[in-house]
């Protein structure tokens, strides 16, 4: 499809909407694009607070679905409740968790939670929403929030990088499969963002106030712009694009060594 998406008055679902990039994208969808929203996250109180504020400030409609996307039953319920409440036009699959540290320190249960949240729930929701959006024939689309970590090796975030690498390849492949049909798939690959997840994982201690950390407002704006334009793989920020460009010419082992030194230094500051 070549025609831009128009979110005005349309219903857009956002997962991971209670904080960070998801919350900021929801705010900008309401304020800038005048979209109606289905807000999905684990923390119902935060969702209710956000719903109230967005409806009062921007005159849009919101629905909330409290769900833990590591739970398969909750994932299916997100789809069912969403399509029962509204005619969904856009789907932003942003929810994710990370681990920063030695891979051996990642408990197996925590890895399974990461895999279920970052990968399995995304594929399941894509499998449900693609035929739904095609049947509606509105030119809707899906935004998959991956990461720059899915495009290059990231020691000390090994499992997280693996999950984002899967999402990147999955989304890009699906983009080609569905090309020419009345739907679009966009994979968004940000670098580090100043969010609650950065803080809770300990990453912010090593990258705070550095050029490697992007503010969440500009990152969300670039994500939504790329989504609306149906871009293939938007990467926000000049530095991230420079890194990605030069990564094409450097040996993979050298890229890994550079990343190892940077992330090891950040780990020591935590």
Confidence category of residue 116, pLDDT binned at 50, 70, 90: very high
Alpha carbon distance 90, 107 (integer Å): 35
Q: What is the mean pLDDT of residues 12-16?
A: 98
Residues 122-149 have pLDDT tens digits of: 999 999 999 999 999 999 999 999 998 8
Identify the DSSP state of 253. H
* Domain residue extents for the chain: 11-269
Alpha carbon distance 146, 227 (integer Å): 13
Q: What is the mean pLDDT of residues 169-195?
A: 90
Please return the burial class of 42, using the count of CB atoms within 10 Å of its CB with bins 0-12, 13-18 and 19+: middle
What's the confidence (pLDDT) of residue 130? 98
Q: Report residue 138 as tokens.
A: 């509105």
Residues 250-269 have pLDDT tens digits of: 666 666 666 666 667 666 76
Confidence category of residue 214, pLDDT binned at 50, 70, 90: confident
Task: Indicate if the pLDDT at residue 243 is higher than 70.
Answer: no
Residue position matching structure tokens 């970052």: 118
* Mean pLDDT, the chain, whole residue set: 88
Contact 92, 25 (CB under 8 A): yes
Q: What is the mean pLDDT of residues 197-218?
A: 61
Task: Indicate if the pLDDT at residue 223 is higher than 60.
Answer: yes
What's the confidence (pLDDT) of residue 244? 64
Alpha carbon distance 50, 102 (integer Å): 35
What's the confidence (pLDDT) of residue 6? 97
Residues 150-171 have pLDDT tens digits of: 888 888 889 999 999 999 999 9
What's the confidence (pLDDT) of residue 100? 83
What's the confidence (pLDDT) of residue 263? 65
For 11-269, the fitting CATH number among 3.30.360.10, 3.40.630.30, 3.40.50.720, 3.20.20.80 is 3.40.50.720
Rounded to two decimals, what is the model's pTM?
Answer: 0.87
What's the confidence (pLDDT) of residue 236? 80
Q: What is the mean pLDDT of residues 28-41?
A: 98
| Helix ranges (DSSP H) in the chain | 20-31, 44-58, 72-85, 108-115, 121-136, 158-178, 196-201, 203-207, 216-228, 238-247, 252-269
């Amino acid at each position: 499809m070549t025609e831009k998406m128009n979110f005005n008055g349309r219903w857009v679902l956002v997962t991971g909407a209670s904080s960070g990039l998801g919350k900021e994208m929801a705010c900008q969808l309401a304020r800038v694009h005048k979209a109606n929203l289905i807000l999905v996250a684990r923390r119902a109180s935060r969702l209710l607070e956000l719903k109230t504020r967005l409806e009062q400030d921007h005159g849009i409609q919101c629905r909330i679905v409290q769900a833990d996307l590591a739970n398969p039953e909750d994932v299916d319920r997100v789809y069912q409740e969403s399509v029962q409440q509204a005619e969904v036009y856009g789907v932003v699959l942003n929810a994710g968790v990370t681990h920063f540290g030695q891979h051996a320190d990642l408990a197996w249960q925590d890895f399974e939670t990461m895999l279920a949240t970052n990968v399995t729930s995304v594929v399941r929701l894509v499998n449900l929403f693609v035929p739904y959006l095609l049947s509606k024939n509105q030119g809707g689309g899906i935004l998959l929030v991956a990461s720059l970590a899915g495009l290059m090796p990231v020691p000390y975030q090994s499992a997280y990088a693996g999950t984002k690498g899967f999402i990147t390849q999955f989304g890009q492949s699906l983009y080609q499969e569905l090309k020419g049909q009345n739907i679009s798939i966009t994979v968004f690959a940000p670098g580090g963002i100043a969010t609650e997840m950065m803080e809770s994982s300990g990453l912010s201690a090593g990258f705070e106030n550095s050029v490697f950390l992007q503010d969440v407002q500009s990152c969300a704006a670039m994500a939504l712009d790329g989504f609306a334009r149906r871009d293939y793989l938007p990467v926000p920020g000049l530095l991230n694009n420079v890194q990605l460009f030069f990564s094409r010419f450097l040996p993979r082992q050298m890229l890994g060594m550079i990343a190892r030194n940077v992330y090891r230094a950040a780990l020591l500051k935590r």
